[in-house]
Chains A and B, each alone.
Chain A
Amino acid sequence: LCRGGLAERLCRLQNRERSAISFWRHQCISEDKIPSDKSGVLIVKILEIFEECTIQVAICQQLEQSPAALSPEDAVVNAEEPILKVLFTRETAAHLKGRPQDVIHIYPPWQKLLLQNADVPVIMNTYFSQKVLISEHSEAREKTYGLTKMLIRKNIISLAQTFRLDDLDDKLHQESSDNQVPCAPQTLNNGDPKRCPLALSAVNDSLLEMVESQGAVGWREVQVRVVIQRVYCLPAREGHRSYTQGNKPLCATPVANSDPPNARLCLLVQDAYGMFSEVQLQSLSSTDDIEQYCRRWEGKSCCLAGMKILQRTTRGRALGLFSLIDSLWPPVVPVKVPGQSQDSEMMTTNLPPPSFCYILTVQSGEIHVEVDEEEQISNLYQPPAVHGLKEILRIDGCNKRCSFWALVLYRRLQTKHSVPLDQRETLLFVTDSTLQNVVHGIPKVVVAALTASCVLSMEIIEALSAGSRLVFFKDALWGNGRIICVERTVLLLQKPLLCSAAGADLSELTGPVRLDELDSTTQANSICALRGTVVGVNESTAFSWPTCNRCGNGKLELCPQDRESLYCNQCSEVVTTPVLKMQLEVFLRCPSQPQSTVKVKVWHEITLFVLLTMLLFLQTYEVQSVLGKEVGLLNCYVHSVTSHPNCAVLEEIVLL
C-alpha cells in the first residue's frame, strides 16, 4: 500500500473501528444489559427487511423512546413517526438476527445519508447495534412468528444502473479534454423492470397449469395453492460450475464445500388435482430447524409463486422420489379431474399413480412460498403411517416407504476403506416392542442403515452418540430385506403430532432390551448376545497399551528427557497416570452353537475385564488360568459367520 495514501488511511481507520466493535460487543455480552450511555442512540422498529448484495436493508420506524418505557398498547405503529432505511453489514445482520417488529438500538457512531431523490434517510455504519426485546411480548412473538419469515427477500441489482457523480450544473468540472462529448453514464430510474412488485393474481389450484404457462405473459404473478405433504432436506448438489466470458471458461470451481449450508430444505407438495411437485427451497445453514419445519408446515396449505422449473423427472429416473409419492397414493380425498367442471361428482380417487413430477425451485432473489401456519391441516394431507417393526419386516415388495418409532441400541460406522468417508453407511441397530415381545421366528433387533444421502440434524447426531434413544424414522425405505434411510427420510426425536398409529403405543418396551443369542441363523453385521466357556486364547493378538488419561490418545511416546515417563503429544504434556487398554481374542464354546468355534475380540474394560486383569497381573498370558471360565451374557457385534470352517467372529460391544 502507498505510504500516506488513502488505502493506508482506511486500513488504519478500519482496524481502529474493528477493535471498537469487538470491545463494544464484548461489553454488551458481559454486562448482559443495555450499555448505559443513551446519548445519540437511535431507536428503531423494523417494519420490513430485505437483502441487497450482502447488505441487509431494514425499513424502520424511528421510535421516540425505548418501548420498554411504554405500555404494550402504546408500542403500536404511530403514523407520525419518521421512517428510516437502516443498512446492516452481513456480519452485523447475522449477529442481530433482526426481523419485522424487532426493536433495535443503534449506538453511535452511525452515519446518516440523505439521498437526492428520496425522502427516506439512510442510516449507515450501524456496527454498534443491539436488539432489544420487550420482555412479556418477546417470547410470544418468537413463537407465533412463522418460520416463513426466516426466508429473507434478496433483491438483484441491475448492472445497467450506473452512478452519476456530477450534478446537472456541474459539467464544467469534468476532466478536461479536447472534445467534450456528452457521454456521461446513464442512470436508470427506479431500477430494473424485473423487480416490479408482484401484483399477484387470483390463486390457481393446478401445478400443471402453472408449469405450462411458464414464459407466457403474467406467469410470474400466478399463484398456486398446494398442500405440503412432506418436508425434508436433500444434500446439497456437488458438482462444478463454471461461468464463461466469451467462449472460454474463466474459472471452474467446485460448488460443494464442507462448510454449511450443505442441505437444501425441500417440500413435496400436492395440488387439488393430485399432482405432486418437489419444491427445492433455500439452503439451510443448520439442519436443526428441520424438525420445526416438519411440525409447523406438514399438512398445511401454501401458495407458490414465481417458481422456476428445474426438471421434469419420471418414475424411471427418480426412484427415491417416486417411492415417496407412491406412499402417498392414492389420495385420501377425491381430487379434481382436469378438464372437467368443478362439480364434486367429477372428483375421483381412482387415478393411476403419477408417472412424472416437476421439480421446482425458487427464482433467485425472490422467495414466494407463503405457508399459512395458522390454518387447519388440509384434508388432502396424508400423515406418515406408523407401523411396528414386525409388520415392516413382513412388507412385500421393494422400495416401499415406511415410518416407525424405535429404540436405537447401537451404532456402527462402516469401515470399508475403499469407500470415501463421507459416503459411508452408518448402521443403526433398532428395536421396538413388536420385536422384543416375540418368542422366536423374527429377529429381536434389526438394522436401519443410514446412507450418506440421508441428512441428519446436529440434534439427532448428538442424541445418537449420547445414549440409547427413541427415534422416529419418517419415510425410511424397505427393500431387499433391509431398512435403509436415504434421501427424503427424516429422523426426528419427537413423534409428529399427526400420524396414523397402528394400535398401542409401540414405544412402550416392557423390561430390558434383549438381543438374540448367537445361533445358526445369525448373520454377519448383526448384533447378538453370547454366553459360553473359554476354550482358548489367541495369544498372538493379545496386547495392552497405555493411553492418555486426558484425551484417550493411544499413541504415547517416551519422554525425551526422562525415558521412564510417557508423553502425549496431543495434550503436549507428560502422562503421569496412563489408562491401560487391552485387546484379546478368546475362543468360546457356546451351548447355542455347539458345532462352531466362536472367536470373540474383547476390548478394554468390559465384562471380561476381570479376566484380563488377572492375565496382566501375572505379566504373562497364562492361558491356563482362563481356560474353562464361563462368560456371558456378552453383547457382541458379528463380524462374520462362515460355515466351512464353522466359525463366527464377533466383537464385544457396549450398547448405547
Chain B
Amino acid sequence: STLPAVAEELLREIRKAFQETSQVPDELLLGLKFIFGPSAVPALDLVDQRSVTRVRSPSGRTLYQVLGSSGKLYTCYSSCHFCTCPAFGFSVLQKSESLLCKHILAVYLSQAMGACQELPVSEEQLTNVLLAEEEDEG
C-alpha cells in the first residue's frame, strides 16, 4: 500500500520544517488537505487549541487523549491506529474511506510540532483510563 508511506513522509516533512523554522509552509498544509481530506482542518484546529495530551506511565505505556470539540475526551492508541470516536468506527473501520480520524491526525501533528501536553500517570491510572473506555461502551 502506498498511502501510509505518503502520509508518513508528509508528516515527517512537517516536523522537519517546524523544527527548522517553527513554521509549517503552505504547501505542506495543502498536502495535508490533499491526503487527509476533510479531517485536515479539524485536526489542525485541535492542534491550535492544544487538545492533545500524551498520557504516560512509568513502565513506558502511552496513550493519547484528545479533547474533542464537543468537550468529549477521546482515547487514541499509540501502538496502532485506533480512536474511540464514532467517526473512526465509521469512516476508517467500516467504510475504509479514511486513513485516520481527525483525532489521530491531531496526535501526529501535535507530535510533529511539539504541541502535546504531557501527563505522567501511574500504572493503575493508565489502566483505569483504558478500562473506563470499555465501561462507557458496555
- Which residues from chain A sit less than 8 Å from chain B, CB to CB? 1-2, 5-11, 13-14, 17, 52-55, 57, 85, 87, 89, 111, 113-118, 122, 124-125, 154-167, 173, 175, 177-179, 181-183, 185-187, 191, 195, 241, 243-248, 250-251, 364-365
- Pairs across A and B, CB under 8 Å, 23 listed: A2-B49, A6-B29, A6-B44, A7-B41, A7-B48, A9-B26, A11-B41, A13-B33, A52-B2, A57-B2, A57-B3, A87-B3, A111-B27, A111-B31, A160-B80, A162-B79, A163-B4, A163-B7, A165-B111, A173-B19, A179-B58, A246-B134, A246-B137
A165-B1 in contact (CB<8A)? no
Known A167-B12, A191-B1, A248-B137; further 20 A-B contacts with Cβ < 8 A: A2-B45, A7-B42, A7-B44, A10-B40, A13-B26, A14-B41, A53-B3, A111-B34, A113-B31, A115-B9, A125-B27, A157-B1, A159-B80, A163-B7, A175-B114, A183-B60, A195-B1, A241-B94, A246-B133, A251-B90
Residues of A within 8 A of B96 (CB): 53, 154, 156-157, 364-365
How close is A17's CB to chain B, nearest CB, in angstroms?
6
Beyond A13-B29, A17-B30, A173-B19, whether A55 also contacts B9 by CB under 8 A is no
Give CA–CA (A157, B49) in the complex, Å.
30
A14-B30 in contact (CB<8A)? yes
Most buried by B among A52, A154, A156, A247: A52
How close is A264's CB to chain B, nearest CB, in angstroms?
17
B112-A55 in contact (CB<8A)? no
How close is B19's CB to chain A, nearest CB, in angstroms?
7
Give A116's nearest chain B residue, CB to CB: B9
Give CA–CA (A160, B81) in the complex, Å.
6
Beyond A245-B89, A250-B86, whether A87 also contacts B97 by CB under 8 A is no
How close is B138's CB to chain A, nearest CB, in angstroms?
4
Give A120's nearest chain B residue, CB to CB: B2
* Range of interface residues on B (Cβ < 8 Å): 35 or more
A157-B114 in contact (CB<8A)? no
A54-B1 in contact (CB<8A)? no
Q: Is B54 an interface residue (CB 8 A)?
A: yes
A243-B34 in contact (CB<8A)? no
How close is B17's CB to chain A, nearest CB, in angstroms?
12
How close is A85's CB to chain B, nearest CB, in angstroms?
6
B37-A89 in contact (CB<8A)? yes
Residues of B within 8 A of A187 (CB): 8
Q: Is B73 an interface residue (CB 8 A)?
A: no
Q: Is the interface of A mostly helix, strand, loop or mixed?
A: loop
Q: Kindly supply a per-residue 1/0 record for chain B positions 48-68, scoring 1 wherever the CB is within 8 Å of any chain A CB and 0 otherwise.
A: 110000101011111000000
Residues of B within 8 A of A113 (CB): 6, 9-10, 13, 31
A55-B35 in contact (CB<8A)? yes
User: Which of A7, A156, A195 is within 8 Å of B45, CB to CB?
Assistant: A7
User: Which of A7, A157, A183 is within 8 Å of B78, CB to CB?
Assistant: A183
How close is A250's CB to chain B, nearest CB, in angstroms?
5
Residues of B within 8 A of A162 (CB): 78-81
A164-B8 in contact (CB<8A)? yes
A6-B24 in contact (CB<8A)? yes
B120-A178 in contact (CB<8A)? yes
Give B114's nearest chain A residue, CB to CB: A175
Give A57's nearest chain B residue, CB to CB: B2
B45-A1 in contact (CB<8A)? yes
How close is B108's CB to chain A, nearest CB, in angstroms?
6
